[in-house]
């Protein structure tokens, strides 16, 4: 059965993809990282893998979270009732507008809104920024949009509904513009109202980079939580800082306890801590959900962490002294455990791509799932141009296995990052760093069959490759590699089709 774009992208159709009762059992069987310790305590990260720029909103007892989408076709919407266990609801499409950056997820006036920068990369041209809004009555859709807010050149929109009902949109560099009552257009002019917090000159940071405004109201004050220091600079660059005002547009005063969150030493486990959203629970406790890169584990991406927030007597949010993201931490009180994570393995029995898979918008048409197989229309003559599906791992070390078969002039294969192996009419092809690896005598087994089982294992970024004719007896290749990315990739290049079956994932740490 051919998978249509409407099925892949449309949340207007029901998406009971994770409602089966065996899904949590599947996740545990894959030996994925579990933050919930099962005894009222949790460990960070709450979402392992590449889930940066978290935006969180609470509606009653339910929490919803999205992240930057990278070069994928949409946002993965997560749901929780205890802030520790998260399960995806489905994918919110963003179309072909460009890579979504640093969204803000809000619930106001009886609707959900996503404000987001979409970043367009054009060949031989500098990237460009545009800002859009999506909206829906229900988090599972249908979602309307995108609506162009006509704010070019700026990033990281953050929404605020003031106490009088007026709506505002903050962006990078402390700029703000008022929105219309429906939140779908601006009115008035952009103006700069906040300069950011002045951090000490001796701190090792990338740049001031005042970004990612997240706003809320509490006990007579408007609070503005911003990222500063740069996202991809030195390990101690990133941070989250707090300011407050009696007015939704300032003037803003900085917290005497800034920064709220930061990595202070290259020796810490978590680097580049920042980009925080503060969220409250029904019982009045507060939490900071933010992203960080694990020391010496950057290949896993920006992971989602959470720390408890307390309030000072004079009304400033802080992380309690002595509390660290490496601690065993008490879970928020109450709240139902909805189960955590999603299976990464896939038997391709469903007639649509599972929410775990990501692809560029222009290659979605190349993939047809159903009946126990994934059929991919091949394209391109190098890994940079192929049709590829990716998923986010949940472990530092893991192995993935798949049965691949090529047809006509296609080559199909399995990678971790840009290292792995493919099978085509001339036999196996090895890749290292995204390019074909020259073959020496004995590097690859002779292979006459159009199908093979492939297994790629990563141990702390080291890549070991195995092949098999039956999926039982494996032959290890003599050459191994090292990768800078831990993203599993199924790809098909050339002409014709590649067919995949029985993709399995297993954590090894």
Contact criterion met (CB below 8 Å) for 61 and 332 = no
Structure tokens at 334: 């109450």
Cα 79–Cα 105–Cα 107 angle in degrees, nearest 5: 85
E strand intervals along 255-324 = 261-262, 270-280, 286-294, 302-311, 317-318
All domains of the chain in start order, with CATH: 34-330 (2.115.10.20), 361-507 (2.60.120.200)
CA distance 422 to 12: 37
Beta bridge partners of 291: 274, 304
CA distance 393 to 374: 20
Cβ-in-10-Å burial (0-12, 13-18, 19+) of 440 comes to exposed
Phi, psi angle pair for 361, to nearest 5°: -60, -35
* pTM of the shown model: 0.92
CA distance 500 to 473: 19
Contact criterion met (CB below 8 Å) for 35 and 359 = no
CA distance 236 to 396: 22
Torsion of CA 324, 325, 328, 329, to 10 degrees: 90
CA distance 257 to 404: 55
pLDDT tens digits for range 326-336: 999 999 999 99
Tell me the pairing of strands 481-482 and 462-468.
antiparallel
Residue with tokens 């299976």, as numbered in its chain: 343
Picking from 317, 245, 231, the residue whose alpha carbon sits closest to that of residue 277 is 317
Measured from the Cβ of residue 315, the count of other Cβ atoms closer than 10 Å reads: 13
Q: Could you tell me if residue 299 is left (phi over 0), alpha (psi between -120 and 50 degrees) or otherwise beta?
A: alpha
Picking from 378, 353, 226, the residue whose alpha carbon sits closest to that of residue 288 is 226
Question: How many whole angstroms from its chain centre is CA 275?
Answer: 13
3-state secondary structure labels for all residues of 78-141? EEECCCCCCEEEEEEECCCCCEEEEEEEEEECCEEEEEEEEEECCCCCCCEEEEEEEEECCCCC
Contact criterion met (CB below 8 Å) for 159 and 151 = no
pLDDT in single tens digits along all 509 residues of the chain: 333 333 333 333 333 334 444 577 889 899 999 999 999 999 999 999 899 999 999 999 999 999 996 545 688 999 999 999 999 998 888 877 778 889 999 999 999 999 999 887 766 777 789 999 999 999 998 999 899 999 999 999 999 999 999 999 999 999 999 999 999 999 999 999 999 999 999 999 999 999 999 999 999 999 999 999 998 899 999 999 999 999 999 999 999 999 999 999 999 999 999 999 999 999 999 999 999 999 988 888 999 999 999 999 999 999 999 999 999 999 999 999 999 999 999 999 999 888 899 888 778 889 999 999 999 999 999 999 999 999 999 999 999 999 999 988 999 999 999 999 999 999 999 999 999 998 888 889 999 999 999 999 999 899 999 999 999 999 999 999 999 999 999 999 999 999 999 999 999 98
Contact criterion met (CB below 8 Å) for 485 and 300 = no
pLDDT tens digits for range 1-16: 333 333 333 333 333 3
């Amino acid at each position: 059965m051919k998978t249509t774009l409407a099925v892949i992208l449309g949340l207007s159709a029901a998406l009971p993809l994770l409602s089966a009762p065996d899904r949590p059992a599947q996740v545990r069987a894959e030996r994925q990282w579990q933050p919930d310790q099962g005894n009222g305590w949790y460990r960070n990260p709450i979402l392992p893998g590449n889930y940066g720029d978290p935006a969180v909103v609470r509606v009653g007892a339910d929490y919803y979270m999205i992240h930057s989408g990278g070069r994928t076709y949409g946002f993965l919407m997560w749901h929780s009732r205890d802030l520790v266990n998260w399960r995806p609801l489905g994918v919110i499409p963003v179309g072909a507008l460009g890579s979504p950056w640093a969204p803000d997820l809000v619930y106001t006036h009886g609707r959900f809104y996503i404000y987001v920068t979409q970043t367009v990369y054009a060949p031989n041209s500098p990237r460009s920024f545009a800002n859009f809004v999506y909206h829906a009555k229900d988090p599972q859709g249908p979602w309307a949009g995108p609506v162009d807010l006509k704010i070019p050149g700026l990033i990281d929109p953050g929404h605020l509904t003031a106490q009088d009902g007026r709506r505002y949109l903050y962006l990078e560099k402390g700029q703000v513009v008022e929105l219309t009552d429906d939140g779908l257009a601006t009115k008035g002019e952009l103006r700069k109202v906040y300069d950011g917090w002045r951090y000490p000159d001796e701190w090792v940071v990338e740049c001031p980079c005042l970004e990612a405004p997240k706003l809320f109201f509490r006990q007579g004050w408007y609070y503005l939580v911003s990222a500063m220091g740069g996202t991809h600079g030195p390990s101690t660059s990133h941070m989250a800082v707090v300011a407050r005002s009696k007015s939704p547009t300032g003037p803003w005063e900085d917290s005497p306890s800034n920064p709220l969150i930061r990595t202070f030493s290259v020796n810490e486990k978590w680097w580049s801590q920042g980009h925080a959203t503060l969220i409250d629970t029904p019982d009045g406790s507060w939490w900071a959900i933010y992203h960080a890169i694990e020391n010496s584990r950057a290949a896993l991406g920006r992971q989602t962490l959470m720390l408890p927030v307390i309030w000072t007597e004079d009304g400033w949010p802080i992380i309690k002294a002595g509390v660290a993201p490496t601690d065993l931490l008490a879970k928020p009180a109450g709240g139902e455990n909805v189960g955590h994570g999603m299976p990464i393995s896939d038997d391709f029995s469903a007639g649509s791509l599972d929410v775990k898979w990501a692809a560029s918008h222009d290659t979605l048409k190349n993939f047809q799932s159903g009946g126990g197989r994934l059929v991919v229309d091949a394209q391109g003559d190098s890994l940079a141009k192929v049709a590829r599906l990716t998923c986010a791992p949940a472990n530092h070390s893991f192995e993935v296995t798949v049965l691949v078969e090529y047809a006509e002039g296609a080559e199909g294969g399995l990678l971790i990052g840009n290292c792995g192996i493919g099978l085509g009419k001339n036999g196996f092809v090895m890749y290292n760093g995204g390019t074909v690896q020259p073959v020496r005598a004995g590097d690859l087994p002779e292979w006459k069959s159009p199908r093979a089982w492939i297994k790629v294992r990563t141990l702390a970024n080291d890549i070991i490759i195995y092949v098999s004719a039956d999926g039982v007896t494996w032959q290890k290749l003599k050459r191994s590699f090292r990768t800078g990315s831990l993203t599993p990739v199924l790809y098909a290049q050339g002409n014709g089709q590649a067919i995949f079956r029985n993709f399995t994932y297993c954590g090894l740490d």
